[in-house]
């Protein structure tokens, strides 16, 4: 029970470990790990699921729209998309009216995977929130939402949320 700071036991993290940036980084590390763990058997990452999700909701979208909706960088989106295409989870069809664009759409396999992933992703949420009381979880999400929204326009890739 090493509890005595008597012995001048320094905490090397003091002054760093309580900074928001540090804690957010750690929280991100944790939530990524939990996601990977829960969805291991589907071999899917949170980022990839985001794309499947958004395509499932929107029907079809081009790369840039996906990036804007999810807050991904264009390059990141390009990589994720080509990875999903390689796995035949989405198709990438040239857009007739604008040949710069490719219209993305879920394949049957993509739909299936997305559907099978949903309960697992729900488990991720449950696990992440399980350390809080219901009230705390609500506050946590509210503050995170306030935080991200407040910085939205200052980021390179602001989210396009219809809610405003």
Enumerate binding residues for DNA (CB under 7 A).
Answer: 25, 29, 32-33, 45, 47-48, 62-64, 72-76, 78-83, 95, 97-102, 155-157
Cβ distance to a second copy smaller for residue 93 or 143: 143
25 class by beta-carbon count within 10 Å (0-12 exposed, 13-18 middle, 19+ buried): exposed
User: Token pair for residue 146?
Assistant: 């306030």
Closest CA to 106 of 153, 48, 39, 60: 60
As measured in angstroms, the least distance from the Cβ of 25 to DNA is 5
Which positions touch a second copy (CB under 8 A)? Answer: 2-3, 9-35, 46, 50, 53-54, 57-58, 69-71, 121, 124-125, 128-129, 131-132, 136-137, 139-141, 143-148, 150-151, 154-156, 159, 161-164
Which secondary structure element, helix H or strand E, spans residue 151, and what is its range?
helix 134-151
- Binding site partner of 16, from a second copy, DNA, none, Cβ cut-off 5-8 A by kind: a second copy
Query: Rounded to whole angstroms, how far apart are CA atoms 89 and 145?
Result: 30
As measured in angstroms, the least distance from the Cβ of 73 to DNA is 3
Query: Rounded to whole angstroms, how far apart are CA atoms 113 and 89?
Result: 8
- Binding site partner of 76, from DNA, a second copy, none, Cβ cut-off 5-8 A by kind: DNA
Rounded CA Rg of the chain: 20
């Amino acid at each position: 029970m090493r509890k005595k700071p008597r012995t001048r036991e320094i905490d090397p993290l003091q002054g760093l470990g309580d900074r928001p940036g540090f804690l957010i980084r750690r929280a991100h590390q944790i939530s990524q790990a939990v996601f990977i763990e829960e969805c291991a058997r589907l071999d899917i990452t949170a980022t990839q699921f985001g794309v499947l999700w958004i395509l499932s909701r929107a029907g079809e979208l081009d790369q840039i729209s996906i990036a804007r909706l999810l807050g991904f960088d264009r390059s990141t989106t390009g990589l994720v998309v080509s990875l999903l295409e390689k796995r035949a989870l989405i198709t990438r069809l040239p857009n007739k009216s604008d040949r710069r664009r490719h219209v993305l759409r879920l394949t049957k396999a993509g739909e299936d995977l997305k559907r099978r992933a949903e309960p697992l992703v729900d488990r991720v949420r449950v696990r992440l929130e399980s350390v809080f009381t219901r009230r705390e979880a609500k506050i946590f999400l509210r503050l995170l939402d306030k935080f991200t929204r407040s910085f939205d326009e200052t980021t390179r890739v602001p989210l396009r949320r219809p809610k405003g």
